[in-house]
Chains A and B, each alone.
Chain A
Amino acid sequence: MSVPMPTSSSSSSTLQSGESRLHPFLATRSSLNLRRRLVNALVVLFTTLAALFAAGLLIYLLCYVLSQGLRYINLDFFTQLPTPNGEPGGGMGEAFQGSLILIALASLMGVPLGLFTGIYLAEFGRGPFAQGVRFLVDVLNGIPTIIFGLLAWVLIVIPMQSFSGLAGGFALGMIMIPIVTRTSEDVLRLVPRELREASLALGATEARTILQIVLPAARNGIITGVVLAMARVAGETAPLLMTAFGTTFWNTDVTQPMDALPLRIFQFTLSPYQQQVNQAYAGAFVLIVLILLASLAVRLAAGGFKQR
């Protein structure tokens, strides 16, 4: 791409003028060349500015939230409960606890469903049925997450007459399924065919080949997909509004309302007390750092996976 542009006038001089007019790149007149170069320069300028503006805007947002949040991070923030009415001190301990429990619940549902669907699609998935499943999983990935919140609300919260961690875990699990499915299908397809054939040639059954040869070979990639899915649901707020609902007390009972980091950030952002707004920034800081770490880990793991 960095090849220097040949001047088109030299190449076009051998052509008839009628032909050159038909051909947009071989203009004879240097004024046309000038126009082309000018247009080219303008496009380079516009795209560069667009990229700078887009990147600048987003970097500004990131840096602003991070720098605000960093000021209010301390040990208490991770271990204490929120103080009532914006009194100084306190933290978001119950939100971290709740987020961990919710992600664990979601993984219990999303990882097996996603992984086995991925195995099916990668190993047995031929024909229109598998194609349909693949398409549906992709579409599922684009459904607004609040829809899954509504689903869990109708299915679990209303019958149980209580917001609960269980309902939150179910809604988050639904969000995890398509992510885990697609990444595990992709990495299982990357496992070399020779590995499977060697295993089958040694007399291993198909099931054994998949479970003991193919899955371990794809382990890193599958873990990557699971981490990605966990990072995604760790930041989900909308489906938790009407399911886990949030609380400001320690709670390990999954049949009761449960807090989550993004929920607490949401509620404290809208709080009238400056102390709670500051803690919302601190929560946002932690959330961004967690997701940054997950992205980096995924990058590194993916790089390592491709090298092998």
Chain B
Amino acid sequence: MSQERVSLSKARQQWLGWQRILRIQRPGDLFFRGITLLFVLIVLGLVAGTAWILISNSLPTIRRFGFSFLTNKAFDPVHDVYGVLPAIFGTLMTSAFALIFAVPLGLGAAIFLVDFCPRPLRFVLAFLIDLLAAIPSVIYGLWGFLVLAPWLHNAGEPWLQQHLGFLPLFAGQPEGVGYLGAGIVLTMMILPLIISVSREVMLVTPIAQREALLALGATRWEVIRHAVLPFARVGILGGVILALGRALGETMAVTMIIGNQANEPSLSLFTPGYTLASVIANQFGEATPGLFLSAIIEAGLILFIITLITNILARWLIASLQRQAQGSRGGRP
């Protein structure tokens, strides 16, 4: 048997492969397949086109500034000098803030939903979380601008300064708008996403592993710690990175509350700042052809590359967990 397979020439193998791929006798079927493939190619073309448009249109600033575009502090149309350092700093700062608070909260809430929540409440909460993940960002922005920012200005930030003012994080003038507000709004926006992804991956833990630990006399926490979390770890990480991608690219809610000033990067959470997305949203209106236009598109290109990398990483992690889950399910009697 194996000898026969070895003796098949490579060309013949390829021919058999093609026959298998084109195992269609009727021209109508071939036509239908062609149509669906055509649509797939259009979608691929659109994605490639997006990348191409962003790259080709940011060439003027790439040629002019090179890597200094990433380290320049000014985004100054008057002197035709452009840089996105404050925006990159603001993007990373607000996203990090959001992750620091949303990950423990979201993970805790997900564990509660999977393991401790009373059954009737579980469905209601799960539906609510999914709904909140679908609330448009402009709504979060509206609340952030009209409610959170005034509150931070009058009560929240002065209180923090009074009690924790010795930390560099809470130095400076309370302004309401700034990194703190943007971070809080982002935390609330990515919380539902982290909860729902972690919940889903924790639910795929093989029930046999849970039962085995329970049979050994483990407490519920020990079941989670030794069966659920090791199994779901990769998927949770994927979910967190997915949420990071969302936070990095969030535009409206952040634009409405971050203050939109190209300030020196500073540790103070009270500083108004910029993110890559809010630079685009704020500056496109005044853009004149040439370097200014190109600078905005390059900001978009940087955002595109950053989110592309985070998303590829997240999807890869989640897919690897799903393969693992399928393997273990197949192994069970």
Q: Chain A: residues with CB nearer than 8 A to chain B?
A: 1, 3, 5-8, 11-12, 24-26, 36-37, 39-40, 43-44, 46-51, 53-55, 57-59, 61-62, 64-65, 112-113, 116-117, 119-121, 123-124, 133, 135-140, 142-151, 153-155, 158, 174, 177, 181, 205-208, 210-211, 231-232, 234-238, 241-242, 262, 265-266, 269-270, 277, 280-281, 284, 287-288, 291-292, 295, 299
| A147 and B303 within 8 A (CB) | yes
Q: Which residue of A lies closest to B148 (CB)?
A: A61
Given A36-B219, A147-B50, A177-B43, verify A61-B134 contact (CB < 8 Å). no
Residues of B within 8 A of A62 (CB): 132, 135
- B73 contacts chain A at the CB level, 8 A cutoff: no
How many angstroms between the C-alpha atoms of A136 and B245 in the bound complex? Answer: 15
CB proximity to A under 8 Å, residues B260-280: 277, 280
| B191 and A58 within 8 A (CB) | yes
Given A50-B105, A116-B35, verify A61-B138 contact (CB < 8 Å). no
Residues of A within 8 A of B131 (CB): 291-292, 295
Instruction: Point out the residue from B57, B115, B191, B251 that lies within 8 Å of A1, measured CB to CB.
Output: B115
As a 0/1 sequence over residues 217 to 260 of chain B, the CB contacts with chain A under 8 angstroms (1 = contact) are: 11111101010000000000000001001101111100010000
Of the listed stretches B1-9, B167-175, B309-317, name the one at the interface; the rest are far from the partner chain. Answer: B309-317
| B221 and A235 within 8 A (CB) | no
How many B residues face the partner with a CB closer than 8 A? 100
- B16 contacts chain A at the CB level, 8 A cutoff: no
How many angstroms between the C-alpha atoms of A234 and B221 in the bound complex? Answer: 42
- B161 contacts chain A at the CB level, 8 A cutoff: no
Q: Please give the distance in Å from A302's CB to the nearest CB on chain B.
A: 11
Given A51-B113, A137-B43, A295-B130, verify A24-B136 contact (CB < 8 Å). no
Instruction: Point out the residue from B39, B210, B248 that lies within 8 Å of A112, measured CB to CB.
Output: B39
How many angstroms between the C-alpha atoms of A241 and B113 in the bound complex? Answer: 38
CB proximity to A under 8 Å, residues B94-134: 104-109, 111-113, 115-117, 125, 127-132, 134
| B281 and A146 within 8 A (CB) | yes
- Give the one of A5, A64, A148, A181 with max B CB within 10 A: A5
| B277 and A238 within 8 A (CB) | yes
Top 5 A-B residue pairs of the complex, sorted by shortest distance between their CB atoms: A144-B249, A235-B136, A50-B108, A116-B39, A207-B32
Residues of A within 8 A of B164 (CB): none
| B36 and A124 within 8 A (CB) | yes
- B333 contacts chain A at the CB level, 8 A cutoff: no
Instruction: Point out the residue from A150, A174, A207, A287 that lies within 8 Å of B29, measured CB to CB.
Output: A207
| A288 and B210 within 8 A (CB) | no
Instruction: Point out the residue from A40, A124, A153, A284 that lies within 8 Å of B33, measured CB to CB.
Output: A124
Instruction: Point out the residue from A61, A119, A174, A266 that lies within 8 Å of B46, measured CB to CB.
Output: A174
Q: Please give the distance in Å from B238's CB to the nearest CB on chain A.
A: 11
Q: Chain B: residues with CB nearer than 8 A to chain A?
A: 24, 26, 28-29, 31-33, 35-40, 42-44, 46-47, 49-50, 53-54, 57, 104-109, 111-113, 115-117, 125, 127-132, 134-143, 145-147, 188, 191-192, 195, 210, 213-214, 216-222, 224, 226, 242, 245-246, 248-252, 256, 277, 280-281, 284-285, 289, 293, 296-297, 300, 303-304, 307-308, 310-312, 314-315, 319
- Give the one of B111, B129, B138, B191 with max A CB within 10 A: B138
| A142 and B39 within 8 A (CB) | no
**12 A-B pairs, CB-CB below 8 angstroms?**
A12-B217, A50-B105, A138-B315, A139-B311, A142-B311, A142-B314, A148-B50, A151-B54, A181-B43, A207-B26, A242-B285, A269-B256
How many angstroms between the C-alpha atoms of A6 and B214 in the bound complex? Answer: 9
Given A139-B315, A205-B29, A295-B134, verify A40-B128 contact (CB < 8 Å). no
